Amino acid sequence: MAIREAAAATPVELDDRARYLSNLGAALVTRFQITDDLDDLDQGITAARDAATSTPPGHPDLVKYLANLGNALRVRFDRTDTAEDLHHSIAALEEAVAAAPADHPSRAAILSNLSLARITRFDCAGNPADLDMAISASKAAVAATPDGHPDRAQHLSILGICLRARSSGLASFPTWINPSPQRNRQPLVRLPATLATQNAYQTASLARYMVIGVSAVRAWLV
């Protein structure tokens, strides 16, 4: 692959190397989505991570490299159900949001992807805090998107799904187990749910799979 050769031939200290690595990651993740070859996805995530970690704080491209890493990790979680990937995806997307200025052109898209990652973890582990933070991210995405923007309807739709999940029985949630990404690398565990919490789960699960195609279209920032 020519992009791989370009990245390998570029000195570590040059900005171009991170860009080549990010493009390599995009190509490999795209190929995975066509072939379902997990080796491509693993290599794509490695390239995306290298692009992000080799870019210093404050660099104008760091936001998109972090966002791309977060989205690639969520793609792998959707394929393998590895909890660590989902935790790391959320962490990378949160870093991207923190690094993005208020007027960054991709800020709303990153917030929406963060909301999707959070509601996915809520779907898996049932921690109400994830749903609350998914709603907050969705609201911020809508607020950052002006009327008439082609993505505004999508952001509003995701917000509506999140709000419906919270209104479907969240008030009666029992205590849930939600592994910490720093201290516990065990798979996500869901405790038995009441009928009300099952309704919330069904809504969150619907959200997870309804948006999968949309999020894939806007998964990689260039």
220 contact partners, CB below 8 Å, separation of at least 6: 26, 29, 30, 68, 71
The per-residue pLDDT for 212 is 38
The per-residue pLDDT for 183 is 34
Instruction: Tell me: pLDDT of 145 over 70.
Output: yes
| Distance of alpha carbon 153 from alpha carbon 158, whole angstroms | 9
The per-residue pLDDT for 168 is 74
* Residue 165's pLDDT band (cuts 50, 70, 90): confident
The per-residue pLDDT for 15 is 67
The backbone torsions φ and ψ at residue 68, rounded to the nearest 5 degrees and listed phi first, read -65, -40
Question: pLDDT for 19-75, tens place per residue?
Answer: 999 999 999 999 999 999 999 999 999 999 999 999 999 999 999 999 999 999 999
Q: With the CA atoms of 137, 140, 145 and 147 taken in that order, what torsion angle do they form, in degrees rounded to the nearest 10?
A: 120
Q: What does R_g of the chain's alpha carbons equal in angstroms?
A: 18
Element (H, E) at 111: helix 107-125
For the chain, the domains span: 101-217
Helix (H, G, I), strand (E, B) or coil at 158: helix
Question: pLDDT for 84-119, tens place per residue?
Answer: 999 999 999 999 999 999 999 999 999 999 999 999
- 130-148 burial, b at 16+ Cβ within 10 Å, e below that, comes to bbebbbebbbbbbebbeee
